[in-house]
Amino acid sequence: MAGPMEETKPDRLLGRTIAGKYQIEAKIGQGGMGSVYRARNVVTGKVVALKVLLEDLAAYPSFVERFLHEARAAARVTHPHAINIIDCGREGEVVYLLMEYLEGETLTQVMKREGPFLPARAARILTQICSALAEAHAHGIIHRDLKPDNIILQQAAGEKDYVKVLDFGIAKVVDGQERDRDAISRRVFIGTPEYASPEQCQAKSPTALSDIYSVGVILYEMLAGRPPFEGDPMEVMLKHVHEEPPSLRALRPDVSPEIEAVVRRALSKDPAARPQSAWELAEEFERAVRAGAGRRTVRLPSRPTSVGGVPVRPTRPQESAAPTARLIRSRWGVALASAFLLVGASGLGYRTYRWLTNWPPLPPPPAIAAPPAPRSIYDPLSEAWRLFEEGDREGAARLLREIIAGSAPGNARAHYLLSLIYLDQGETAGAKSEILLALEQAGGVFPEAQLQLGRVLWEEGDAEGAERAFRAALEQSRGRLIAAATALGELYLRQGRREEAERLLGEALERAGEDPEDLLEVGRILLLQKQYELAVRELRRAIRLKNGRFPEAYLVLGRVLLERGEAPLAVEVLSTALAKRGGNDPTARHLLGRALYRLRDYERALAELRAALLLRGGNFPEARYDLALVLADPAVGHYEEAEEQLRLLLELRPDQFPEAREALAELYALRLGRLEDARRLWQQALSRSEGAAWLDRTRDALLLHAQGEPIQRLLRADVPPRLTFDLALAPPSTERHGVLLLRSGDVALGFRLERARELSVWSVRPVRLIGAREDVLEPLSDPPDPAMPWTLTFMTDRHEVALALNGREIVRAKRTGATTGTPLLVSLRGGRAVLFHFRE
């Protein structure tokens, strides 16, 4: 594409080097305030645009000082849709501003070539203009000269209408001069008549609402093909003050009344009657366009084929879904037209864009999680959402790629939904890339995408970034995105900021409405507050309102039931959620695995937890942690695999799972008998008090490891009247019985562990040996869980010995031999046992 302006004749600045490294190559424009040159960094070769103030303006010290001050301030406030400032300063008589070098066409050029725009295209361009304008207004900068010549359209991410707004800042700078105002104003005209607000035309002080009017004129021209008033500049200014604009629908009969009403409001003579912010104008126009589009009917294409079982992961979108870093960097060459440099042009941009900035508030876009639209008004995004909800991630991703590749309206939402699919698969990098693309295409204002970004950052361990994103989602939605309040409140709770969390969650409950999505978030909040009964009630209401088609509410309900200790009912509810997602929901499988473990259905619990990990590509820390706990349970006995899972978890999330470090230490000490490894981890434990307690309790630990043959060890050389200690058992996964005995003289007391099959609960049967006679008693009716350490107490006197388990006597025998000078021995057959924390 050719540049938008031709190079003019050279001047004395050509060939000069500015700021020690920018060599001026060509003059590419002239404006009322100065000239613009193409320059090149002699070190890196990067091309930049260099604006030089006119010498007579540079002769005013107060003007130059103010200009440079405002330029530096603006350079710290960048935005993706405003030209970026690189540097500014003065060298001798040259006062300069360095900017990014843009390639593209002005909106004026595009409209002249292509004619009026469809409303959907105008909406996309308007949203980006308003995003830059709102950021400027938030920093007290009024543009004062918004017009199509100051708007550049570029190619980016497969889109041909990526907006860059030029000339921020200088009008405010000029207005800031108190000295020599008249001299300066004779040289610089602030504004362009065709796009000036009534108050500007009356020489009144412009405000942010003056910029709103100018944007309204641009919007009118995008739809009508011409501005509302044309002709002699003075006549045009009088018309802005006294006349209503010609009817838009008279020029464009296909434009809906809703669209015309929004444009007329933006062009109100009274600033108070206009939209009161740039985002309000963007949101009103977008809503009007949707209302008009909703009347049209399109043919229904064939539905993508569903993939059963664990889905194949969707291939990444093609070039249109390239990583956002490629969009944000200034990678395009540059040609600045003279039209870019008309009166007041400084090109003051904003700081390098950060997606976690607190954007000006905007009500949330319509939720995509609505029930599928009737087939007569088929919407591909709604169809993609339906496929995702039903667990057909491959079909949803395929449809979204088609939307993106076709540059259809709604690409921001397509990228957003694709990010949900990536995150559902555990691909946080792909999810983040898609979220940033969604934000880029939505002009940075997309509350649901900010919420999703916060969730990704949280999962990555960036709590500070997650908080910023959650706050941005709340501000952009004006507090109406209850899910953002829930997420931020949960983050605060995890950080121990209880008062902030309670205040935030309380406010969210007050704002919540009666729609199913709000009731879902109410259920989440009540779960966080441990108000389980109320949570169950609200979640069941949400499910009823959706006629049972609400998998996410089933998931939260299952979690609530688990917390309430109702594992059987939780299994039923979570199974329903999983069925509604076609079996392809990792969270449902994770929670179902947890519920089955509580029911001691170890085989199915392991299967569900492994499936959850598989569905998320292994990137599911919570499921990996629960899987390790199940594997380390003596009923399962896969201790080495449990170690592997915990070590992997600590490698992937070293700072997010302190409980994993403690679980690994306990596994080493209580199941594998690796006490030195356990002590090393306890010394590193984030919970210092807990680590110190374990170190103290295990300092005198004794390990028994019976490999095939029984093993026996000395406990005491002389039997004390009473000896208490803790016992951790690790029976092998492949055996069905094991025996531990405490022997004094010719009497031994202990217990036998038994089970009917692998992956099942151990029963505990007390055992008594007197001489050669062995008595195996009935199993304990309420046996302790081998997953937790037991407390054993061996008691003896001159006549009897007894054994108590967890404070309850389980077996007793009469002595037949000496009571003094007899050692106390412990023997084990099958597996490992760790005896520790001895006390007499």
DSSP 35: E
Q: Cα dihedral sign for 353, 357, 358, 362?
A: positive
* Buried/exposed code over 397-422 (b: 16+ C-beta within 10 A; e: otherwise): bbbbbbbbbeeebbbbbbbbbbbbbb
Instruction: Return the H-helix or E-strand segment holding 200.
Output: helix 198-201
29 CB-near residues (< 8 Å, 6+ apart): 5, 8, 35, 36, 336, 337, 338, 340, 341
**What's the whole-number mean pLDDT along residues 37-58?**
83
503 CB-near residues (< 8 Å, 6+ apart): none
State residue 503 phi and psi, 5-degree precision: -65, -45
| Alpha helical stretches, state H, 730-811 | none
Matching fold, domains 365-473 and 620-699: yes
The type of residue at 5 is: M
What band does 339 get if pLDDT is binned at 50, 70 and 90?
very low
pLDDT in the model for residue 320 = 31
d(CA 519, CA 325): 37
702-839 CATH choice from 2.20.25.90, 1.10.4190.10, 2.60.120.200, 3.40.50.1820: 2.60.120.200
447-459 vs 411-424: helix crossing angle, rounded to 10: 20
Q: Please give the CATH number for the structural domain made up of 620-699.
A: 1.25.40.10
**Cα 431–Cα 435–Cα 441 angle in degrees, nearest 5:** 145
pLDDT in the model for residue 157 = 42
Specify the range with the lowest mean pLDDT, choosing from 177-191, 584-598, 674-688, 729-743.
177-191
Q: Which of 11, 56, 87, 145 is catalytic?
A: 145
List pLDDT tens digits, range 742-799.
999 889 999 999 998 888 899 999 999 998 899 999 999 989 989 899 999 999 988 8
pLDDT in the model for residue 503 = 94
Q: What is the DSSP string of 248-285?
A: HHHH-TTS-HHHHHHHHHHT-SSGGGS-SSHHHHHHHH
Instruction: Return the H-helix or E-strand segment holding 50.
Output: strand 47-53
Higher pLDDT, 14 or 175: 14
Q: With pLDDT > 70 as the criterion, what percentage of the chain qualifies?
A: 82
CB-side neighbour CA atoms (13 Å) of 680? 6
The fold for domain 17-201+208-297+327-341 equals Transferase(Phosphotransferase); domain 1 (1.10.510)
List pLDDT tens digits, range 163-207.
888 876 454 443 444 333 333 333 344 678 899 999 989 888 888
DSSP 374: P
Q: Is 392 a catalytic residue?
A: no
List pLDDT tens digits, range 405-423.
875 455 788 899 999 998 8
| Alpha helical stretches, state H, 76-176 | 107-114, 119-138, 170-175
pLDDT in the model for residue 685 = 62
293 has pLDDT over 80 = no
The fold for domain 365-473 equals 1.25.40
pLDDT in the model for residue 778 = 95
Tell me which residue of 78, 127, 75 sits closest to 96, measured CA to CA.
75
48 CB-near residues (< 8 Å, 6+ apart): 22, 38, 39, 40, 41, 86, 98, 99, 100, 101, 334
CB-side neighbour CA atoms (13 Å) of 29? 28
Six token digits for residue 202: 């009356």
Give me the residue spans of the domains in the chain: 17-201+208-297+327-341, 365-473, 620-699, 702-839
Cα–Cα distances in Å, from 819 out to 5, 340, 713, 798, 815? 109, 104, 20, 6, 8
Instruction: Return the H-helix or E-strand segment holding 105.
Output: strand 105-106
When the pLDDT of each residue in the chain is averaged and rounded to a whole number, the result is 80
